[in-house]
Amino acid sequence: MKNVMTIFGAVLFASVMLVSCGGDSIQSDAKKVAELQCKAQELMQKATSGDMSVVEESTKLANEAATLSKEMEGKYTSDSDKQKFSEALLKEMGNCK
């Protein structure tokens, strides 16, 4: 009986750890995409203020963000994960300077 409880406890612990780590992954992925998008936005604002030297870098960052976002769409296939990613991305985008 003690062995069964030990095994059950180990399985439960592993399950909790895997589930809790999954949410962190969504948050960190959303943060990566948001950082790229925010930086691209910031550079485009400089460009509209007359500093045209940053347009190429801004376009490059925007393309990287789009590519990463597409990868995340493939990574998060369930509707609930897609929803969580979208919410996390919107939250991170709200932190743009």
Exposure string over 8-20, b if 16+ CB within 10 A, otherwise e: eeeeeeeeeeeee
* pLDDT for 23: 59
User: Going by C-beta distance under 8 Å and a sequence separation of 6 or more, which residues neighbour residue 75?
Assistant: 29
Cα 21 to Cα 24: distance, rounded to the nearest angstrom = 5
pLDDT value, residue 34? 92
pLDDT at 51: 80
Q: How far apart are CA 39 and CA 23, in angstroms?
A: 24
Q: pLDDT tens digits for the chain (97 residues)?
A: 444 344 433 333 433 343 444 558 999 999 999 999 998 898 888 888 888 888 888 888 889 999 998 898 899 999 999 999 999 999 999 988 7
The position carrying tokens 């932190």 is 95
Q: Provide the CA 96 distance to its chain's centre, in angstroms.
A: 14
- Sequence ranges of the domains in the chain: 26-93
